[in-house]
Structure 1
Amino acid sequence: MELTSTWVEVVEWSHRPRRSSMSATREQRPTGPGEPRPPGWLWSGPDGRVVLGIFSLAFLVAFESLAVATVMPVVADELDGLTLYALSFAAPMAVGVVSMTLAGPLMDRHGPALAVRGGVLVFSLGLLVAGLASSMPVFLVGRAVQGLGIGFISVGLYVVIGRTFHEDVRARVFTVMTSAWVLPALVGPLLAGTIADLVGWRWVFLAVPAVALASLGLIWQALDRIDGDPAVVLEGRRVWWAALVAAGVLSVSLAGQRAVTWWPVLLVAALVVTLRYGPRLVPPGSWRGRPGLPRVIATRSLLGAAFVGAETYVPLSLVQHRGLSAAQAGLLLTSGAVLWFAGSWLAAHVPVLASKPLRVRLGSVCVLVGTAAGFLALLDEVPVAVVAAVWGVGGLGMGMALSTLGVLLLDHSAAAEQGANSAGMQISDAVAQSLLLALGSVLFAVLLTVGDRVGYVMVLGLASAVAALGVAMAMRVEAAPG
């Protein structure tokens, strides 16, 4: 009965509330054991189980993302689904837009317990469907269900961090989340490939649900300690807007593959829908970079899209123009992931980087420098080691800037807004990255016929231009008042 009434309320919510100053002040205080603690308490103190649970859930999401990329060629071959290959990556991202839109206000109103637990169960169900799929369409359904669960999990982790840990240690918890992505980058592809070779690709999916449920158990009690604000409401139309944006993201990705003759029409229509309704799912002014929280979100989306845009083509260039193997080029991405963690660690532990705006500005400049690695890869006289070093600078910047922007988002959000704002940030990231990758794909394919390296120069130039916009935005990011 309680579960049913909760979802009915999701549909009936009409708008996010305004709180009195007294209420806002009270909500800023963490409801869990989130008082400042001395250094060294993070893993061994009373919240050690929570930190471990956050790490485990983030690790599983990261592992699945990397593992799927490793085994998808085998999956597509066995299920005869090569024509649907791109959808296996686009579907989870698109469906995640809808679940994140639901997750934010749901968690703000009722606390994260129901949504996070439901998200882990849905994620696990999607893994089982994908692992047991007998055809590619069924596999895609499983991938979409995974995306539905991931949306709830990703927003929930931000809410747990914001409501459990004091602002003085949030940067360190974000470093833990970052490390949860680095480890899969180091061992995920090899482990997934080994599992596929030894027992079959299906176990890459079927082995994960048990671990996911065990990870949920680590934060079970922490979820119960976080209350919601019954005054929080959601406009029912936001669900339909999210569905339209999800369709737009999916269509943009499909158009970028140019698999149908009418892809230009699909691309334009998808862009119109996405750009019209996307801004309605994020805090007002986010896509214009207005001061405060909107600028934090805009900066993060620009930097993330720029980095992903460059990351897509740098390894390909090293293979085609420098003669590296795919494994050797992949080491470049691994080095970037390691330095990403290093940047996050430095942001959380080095006193000279105590200023959050300073960390964002330094990180953004590093990301811009990192995008130059793509141009250097096109120059035969530049050693590959130099290309790797420059790319590593970009990874360092991403770790420093994105973890800090995550902290700033929580700083700028009252307790009853952390779910909605975290969801808005992640929706903005997903849309920005999808748009840049799709446009880059079209640009690359068209210009590659002009010259062998012209396409690379243009897509890398696009990534660098977006990074430069991110730097300009970062220079105006400010700490939360008070």
Structure 2
Amino acid sequence: MSSNSQSIFSPHYFALSIGIILSVMAVGFEGLSVTTIAPSIAGDLNGLDLFGWIFSTYLLAQIIGTLVVGRIIDRQGLAAPFTIALLLFIVGLIAAATAGDMYTMIGSRAMQGLGAGAIMTCVYTAISLSYPDELRAKILGAFGTAYVLPSMLGPYVAGLIADQWSWRFVFWGILPVLIVSALLSLPAFRKLKTEEIQEDNGAASIWMALLLTIGTGIFLVGLSMLPIITGFVLVIIGLVLMVYPLRKLLPKGTLAFRKGMPAILATRGLFFAAYTSTQNFLVLALIDVKGITPSQAGLIVASAALSWCIIAYLQGRWDSADQGRGRHTRIILGVLLLAIGIAFVFWIPVVTVTVAVIGQIIAGIGIGLAHPISGVVAFSQTGEGGVGKTSANLQFADSFTPGVVIGIGGSILVVCQAAGMSLQSGLIVTMGFHLLLIVMSLLASTRITPAPK
């Protein structure tokens, strides 16, 4: 049977596809649920002064998990790293569910971050190795949907569980999903073989990942201290420490939008960061400036998730119909639609419920076009010996860049308010920063060279 006539849920792919989808849903649900229950965690564990580290520790550990496991996969295969990643995530969940103090909780978040980064990298690699090019757009579309659905349901469900029982049950509830995912995925993962490559800089890559993590941590701490002088000093030190490992770990020319793989990763990192950060600050604008209730703001943001899911499903069909010839065009169109969607909510004074919903729907269409296809194009330009590294780079673009950009957005608000500006004005400046990122992503997207047929 040709791959064109197959489905990602045909008997040959069914167990792997369901396992991948469940893995992604578990990681996505846990990450978004913590946003809702974090205040309760900090209150119960008497750790409000350490509140931000619930999120920062996860991000920093995820950097290490993502970058290190990509190199391990290319040398040792997929099954062992995926098993270790699952165990780390599971141990992190159990530690969080039973935490008696804030330091234990922060340690559990570090384990979850290591596991989550490694799991997602393993999943990207499995997609590259298991599915033919014609089906990758479909499985990556389902991948995107599996990650988006928790954004619609996760915060509400987590809040309901915390209100009715305890925030601890949120962590316990994810365990069965991960176990089922492992039972379905591991048999297929054991059969996957990567083409072993010899890297003489394997240890150096691990040290670079650690240096990047340290630099990012200093950078985020500095952002949280702005606008005092110590904050500016730490931001500069963090940036200096971040730039060198970024240049070593990412494909050469990524920061300069070099044609090919570097441009793909730059495009993806910039548009995904702009989209994610816009979602966070739009909710703040709707609640604190426009006076909309949290539940209404959540529904407005969910409209983007809904359009993302629909387009992510349709683009798999479009990719099959044109045999991948329109991939580059769809990425550029997606980034352009993201720019339009963000522009709709850029000028906060004119944002109404209707304007916000329209902007979110357009942004959702844009991300639904650009996100899955950028992954397909990246894998189509990767040799078998480098799928682990490419998978790590894609996951890195999806996690590191948004985390840093959200931190920068928060510091923009703080600095604007310290300068005497209103929250509304600060949000306009923040949204302008997101638009700048999208313009940069659009520029980078024009330098993506289609894979040769």
Alignment TM-score, normalising by the size of structure 1: 0.88
Change (3 A) 1:132 1:259: farther
Please give the alpha-carbon distance, in whole angstroms, between the structure 1 residues aligned to 2:28 and 2:275: 17
1-structure distance, mates of 2:226, 2:47: 14
Amino acid at match of 2:292: L
Alpha-carbon offset, residue 450 of structure 1: 3.0
From 137, 154, 167, the counterpart of 1:171:
137
2:156 is matched with 190
1:68 aligns with 2:68: no
User: Is the contact made by 2:71 and 2:202 (CA closer than 8 Å) also made in structure 1?
Assistant: no
SS at match of 1:168: helix
Provide the C-alpha distance between the structure 1 equivalents of 2:111 and 2:91, rounded to a whole number of angstroms: 7
User: How far did residue 372 of structure 1 move?
Assistant: 1.2
Q: 1:246 aligns with which of 213, 237, 242?
A: 213
User: For residue 386 of structure 2, what is the aligned residue in structure 1?
Assistant: 417
Distance 1:66 1:141 in 2: 18
User: Kindly, what percent of the aligned residue pairs are identical?
Assistant: 26
Contact 2:15 2:185 (8 Å CA) reproduced: yes
Q: Which amino acid aligns with 2:86?
A: V
- Contact 1:292–1:478 at 8 Å: present in 2 too? yes
Q: Which residue of 2 aligns with 1:256?
A: 223
Shift of residue 458, structure 1, vs aligned partner: 1.2
Distance 1:315 1:197 in 2: 22
- In 1, Cα distance between equivalents of 2:280 and 2:352: 20
Separation (CA, whole Å) in 2 of partners of 1:313 and 1:264: 23
Shift in alpha-carbon separation, 1:36–1:142, aligned structure 2, 3 A: farther
Residues 340 and 362 of structure 2 are in contact (CA less than 8 Å); yes or no, is this contact kept in structure 1?
A: yes
The separation in 1 between residues aligned to 2:398 and 2:359, in whole angstroms, is: 24
- Tell me the equivalent position of 1:152: 118
CA-to-partner distance for each residue in 1:321-367, whole Å, 9 max, x for gaps? Answer: 32201111111221111111122122211346851001101101011
2:248 pairs with 1:280: yes
- Is 2:432 aligned against 1:450? no
The offset of 1:44, in angstroms, is 3.3
Greater Cα offset, 443-452 or 53-62: 443-452
Alpha-carbon distance between aligned partners in 1 of 2:34 and 2:53, rounded to the nearest angstrom: 12
Name the amino acid aligned to 1:315: V
| Structure in which a larger fraction of residues adopt helix | 2
Measure, in 2, the Cα distance between the counterparts of 1:421 and 1:281.
11
Gaps of 5+ in 1: 1-34
8 A contact 2:278–2:434 mirrored in 1: yes
Aligned to 1:435: 404
Q: How many residue pairs get matched?
A: 446
Residues 313 and 374, structure 1, Cα contact 8 Å, conserved in 2: no
C-alpha contact 2:26 2:174 (8 A) present in aligned 1: yes
1:459 CA displacement: 1.0
Instruction: Give, as a single letter, the amino acid of the residue that structure 2 aligns with 1:314.
Output: L
The within-5 A match list for 1:99-178 is 99-178=65-144
Q: How far apart are residue 463 of structure 1 and its match?
A: 0.6
* 2:12 alignment partner, SS class: coil
Quick check: 1:389 aligned with 2:355? no
Aligned partners of 2:223 and 2:232 also within 8 Å = no
CA distance in 2, matches of 1:321, 1:63: 28
Deviation, 1:460, is: 0.9
In the alignment, which of 172, 184, 191 is matched to residue 206 of structure 1? Answer: 172
1:237 correspondence with 2:204: yes
User: Partner letter of residue 193 of structure 2?
Assistant: D
Further displaced range: 348-357 or 285-294: 348-357
| CA contact 1:61–1:150 (8 Å) conserved in 2 | yes
2:61 paired residue number:
95
Distance, in Å, in 1 between the alignment partners of 2:2 and 2:69 is 28
CA distance in 1, matches of 2:147, 2:242: 28
How big is the shift at 1:155?
0.6
Long gaps (5+) in structure 2: none
- Residue 243 of structure 1: CA displacement? 0.6
1:327 matched to 2:295: yes
Of 47-56 and 311-320, the range deviating more from structure 2:
311-320
Equivalent residues of 1:309, 1:440 under 8 A apart:
yes
1:355, 1:105 → 2: CA distance? 31
CA distance in 2: counterparts of 1:354 and 1:332, whole angstroms: 34
What is the CA distance between 1:116 and its match in structure 2? 0.7
| 1:364 matches 2:349 | no
Per the alignment, residue 45 of structure 1 pairs with: 11
CA contact (8 A) 2:227 2:415 kept: no
1:294 to 250, 257, 262: 262
| Paired residues of 1:62 and 1:184 also in contact (CA < 8 A) | yes
The Cα shift of 1:38 comes to 4.5
Once the two structures are TM-superposed, the CA of residue 469 in structure 1 deviates from its matched residue by 0.9
Deviation at 1:184, TM superposition (A): 1.3
C-alpha deviation, 1:153, in angstroms: 0.5
Greater Cα offset, 325-334 or 51-60: 325-334
Q: Aligned pair 1:403/2:365, yes or no? A: no
CA shift digits 1:169-215 (9 cap, x unpaired)? 10000111111123212221222122212221111112322321221
Point out the more displaced range, 164-173 or 349-358: 349-358
Going from structure 1 to structure 2, the CA distance change for 1:264 and 1:376 (only over 3 Å counts) comes to: closer
Q: CA deviation at 1:40?
A: 5.7
Equivalent pair of 1:377/1:387 in contact (CA under 8 Å): no
Question: Aligned letter for 2:33?
Answer: A
C-alpha distance in structure 2 between counterparts of 1:140 and 1:98, whole Å: 16
Distance 2:190 2:198 in 1: 18
Q: Distance in 1 between matches of 2:309 and 2:328?
A: 19
Per-residue CA deviations over 1:252-298 (Å, capped at 9, x if unaligned) read: 22222228952222211111111222221111111111111111001
Q: CA deviation at 1:77?
A: 0.3
Provide the C-alpha distance between the structure 1 equivalents of 2:195 and 2:68, rounded to a whole number of angstroms. Answer: 16
Pairwise CA RMSD = 1.8
TM-score (norm 2): 0.94
1:227 is matched with which residue? 193
